[in-house]
A = this chain, B = another copy of it.
Amino acid sequence: MTATDPWADLLAADRALLDRTSTAERVADVLRQRIIDGALAPGTRLSEESAGKALAVSRNTLREAFRLLVHERLLVHEFHRGVFVRVLSAEDVIDLYRIRRLLETSAVRRGENPDLVSAVDSTVSDGERAAAEERWWDVGTANMRFHEALAALAGSPRVNDTMRQLLAELRLAFHVMSRPEEFHKPYLGFNREIADLLTAGDREAAAEKLDAYFDAAETQLVAAYRTYQD
């Protein structure tokens, strides 16, 4: 197990692929996906019996999966009443934007890794292509990945995790709106400008434009959210 085997590191990197996940984690994966894509609407109650029967897992395993998603804030757990798909309040949406602004602008100001910058750029291209072909759901996804890529400029695994989680949580907000498909479209231009500034190396200008984006997007989403919530 000494450093005499240079290929050992290569295989070690692949270990995660082999190491298999538990049933509970896979159950959490599918539930997470269904929540994110809106099949499980906010407020939906997930009974242990129905969910367990549907996924063909035992109650115990299911409860482990529930715990994970509660911790990720995608589900809420009410004692002796069951678990529900989270319903975000307007304050939640505001808070999500607050922390996103913090993370993303800081990451943009400090991140200079060329690979990560070009990764940002390609997410914008994806969004533009999806918009041209009117695949609105994909536009939204590309927009999410754009911001994920911005946060990734920080070069921190924990920031990446946090960001992924925040964006998943934010998806809950879009599902209560009337036309979530077209919500992201107006921001494609913003994204392009920010990506170009980053590619040009002007991180400060990119960060300021991002800040302006947050001003616009947050007020719009909160307004739309308050409207369609009642």
Does A53 sit within 8 A of B, measured CB to CB?
no
Q: Which of A22, A68, A99, A103 has the most CB of B within 10 A?
A: A99
Contact indicator A67/B24 (Cβ below 8 Å)? yes
Contact A99 B154 (CB under 8 A): yes
Stretch at the interface among A125-133, A157-165, A222-230: A157-165
A107 at the interface (CB under 8 A from B): yes
**Taking each of A67, A107, A155, A157, which has the highest tally of chain B beta carbons within 10 Å of its own beta carbon?**
A67
Interface residues of chain A: helix, strand, loop or mixed (majority): helix
Give Cα A60–Cα B62 distance, bound, in whole angstroms: 11
Chain A: interface residue total (CB-CB under 8 A):
31
**List of B residues within 8 angstroms of A158 by Cβ:** 95-96, 98-99, 166
> Which one, B20, B99, B159, contacts A79 given CB within 8 A?
B20
Q: Let me know if A79 and B22 touch, CB within 8 A.
A: yes
